[in-house]
Amino acid sequence: MGMTITEKILAKSAGKSSVAPGESIWLNVDTLMTHDVCGPPTIAIWKKEFGTKAEIWDKNKLVIFPDHYIFTENEHANRNVQVLREFAGEQQLPNYYDVGTERYKGVCHVALAEEGYNLPGTVLIGTDSHSCTSGAFGLFSTGVGNTDAAFILGTGKIWEKVPESMKFIFEGELPEYLTAKDLILQILGDITTDGATYRAMEFDGEAVYSLNMDERMTLTNMAIEAGGMNGIIAADEKTETYVKARTNREYEIFNSDGDARYHSSYHYDCRELEPVVAKPHSPDNRGTVREVQGTELTKCYIGSCTGGKLSDFTASAKILINQKVRVPTFVVPATTEVAAQLEQETLKGISIKEILEKAGCIIAQSSCAACLGGPMDTTGRAVDKDVVISTTNRNFPGRMGSKQSEVYLASPLTVAASAVRGVITDPREFLI
């Protein structure tokens, strides 16, 4: 019987010719990623278990991006970055991207792509639930906690149960008023926040392959919002072009077999979909933008691993060009590379950055920022009874900083349109 792409990658990593869902296996990890929130406790566990003089299993396979709490006066947060810095020094780590240096990147999941760590066919484990993002490059990637990560630091191994796969096929051309965020919010509304628990979410279909890598990452990023173990899109020419431009590391392309077995399949015709939001307080609380149109807002937010990539800002700029925002609108480029691209990329001869600035957006430095609330002095943090529309990925109670706030998740087009009107607005008003 055939295997899915996820099963093939796991089999290779476990050194087996085949694996089947439900089987518990030990994987050899190709890349371990951590950051300033989960790195320090991971390092502490590793030192306790393996000794302070030990060396980690493979210095080239550990990648550390401080990104969560960076631009803050919070002394505990700053101490955590110092812990990473000292560890990188002790272990002579080549892949540490320190704050305050030219190497500083920002949001880890986007930085992994930019720095060429997302290698098709490999296994990437991260101490962050959105590590599933990397699956957009046809690799197996998932999030774990500190203990599992510390175990990998010492052994290079992790146990996993092979997941069943679910397939999500998007047919038809993606209309101008939809983005990948609309597609994944559509799925979440259909299968709910535990609809893919312990399963692989495989994305396929002509609309998926028409997306650039930024947009593909938006799909796989939110696999975890359905409880998914990993999200995955098989590599194609676009993937290879992106990867080859950034690294000469080796990779291998896998595809699902025609007779691979799936837990379930979902088919969507893009022409039948419309802009959607996730209403408070859950990413699966889907509604159409039309349904919540007119909801008064106090803040708009465009940023994060899922909503702060170049494509998210070029989409926003299409609407914000020659407009003014009516409510405070925060723009947080995921990484320093995205921030630089905002100055280079243009629309109608004007840089994206200038368009956003002229519209009145507040542009912050690259980091996770208010997506997860963060320390009290975090830019864009929700306060009191804020009503926010955001391109981020979670709107559980208090996620952006205030338990009394209400957060709507939406595409960058919908957020931009809403910023201009000050109330939730359908982007088709601006695009059609």
Partner 1 sequence: MEKIIKGIAYVLGDKIDTDQIIPAEHLVYSMSDESEARKYGQFALSGVPAEEAGLPAGNQPFIDGDEFESRYGIIIGGGNFGCGSSREHAPYALNKAGVKAIIAESYARIFYRNSVDGGFLVPYESMEKLNDSIRTGDELEIDMQKNELRNLSRNTMHRLRPLGDVLPIIEAGGLFEYARKSGMI
Contact flag: residue 401 with partner 1 (CB under 8 A): yes
Could you say which residues in the range 252-311 bind partner 1, by CB under 8 A? 282
Give CA torsion, residues 203, 206, 207, 211, to 10 deg: 80
Q: What is the Cα–Cα distance from 199 to 188, expressed in whole angstroms?
A: 14
Structure tokens at 368: 């996770």
Contact flag: residue 423 with partner 1 (CB under 8 A): no
Contact flag: residue 406 with partner 1 (CB under 8 A): no
Determine which residue in the list 116, 172, 175, 227 makes contact with partner 1, applying CB under 8 A.
227
Q: What is the Cα–Cα distance from 379 to 332, expressed in whole angstroms?
A: 9
Could you say which residues in the range 112-141 bind partner 1, by CB under 8 A? 126-129, 131
**SS3 of 124, please?**
strand
Q: What is the Cα–Cα distance from 147 to 242, expressed in whole angstroms?
A: 33
Contact flag: residue 386 with partner 1 (CB under 8 A): no
Short-list 160, 193, 139, 179, CA closest to 302: 179
User: Phi and psi at residue 75, in whole multiples of 5°?
Assistant: -70, -35
Single out the segment in contact with partner 1 by CB under 8 A; choices: 68-76, 210-218, 254-262, 417-425: 68-76
Q: Residue 331 half-sphere exposure, CB side, CA atoms within 13 Å?
A: 29
Q: Exposed/middle/buried for 78, CB within 10 Å: 0-12, 13-18, 19+?
A: middle
Determine which residue in the list 141, 146, 165, 306 makes contact with partner 1, applying CB under 8 A.
146
Closer residue to partner 1 (CB): 82 or 212: 82
Determine which residue in the list 67, 114, 148, 204 makes contact with partner 1, applying CB under 8 A.
148
Contact flag: residue 28 with partner 1 (CB under 8 A): no
- What's the Rg (C-alpha) of the chain? 21
Site string for partner 1, 72-111 (x = CB under 8 A): --x-xx-xx-------------------------------
Kind of pairing, strands 230-232 and 199-204? parallel
Closer residue to partner 1 (CB): 205 or 228: 228
The residues of the shown chain that bind partner 1, judged by CB under 8 A, are 24, 37-38, 40-41, 44, 49, 68-69, 74, 76-77, 79-80, 126-129, 131, 143-148, 150-151, 154-155, 161, 193-194, 197-198, 227, 229, 282, 372-376, 394, 396-399, 401, 403
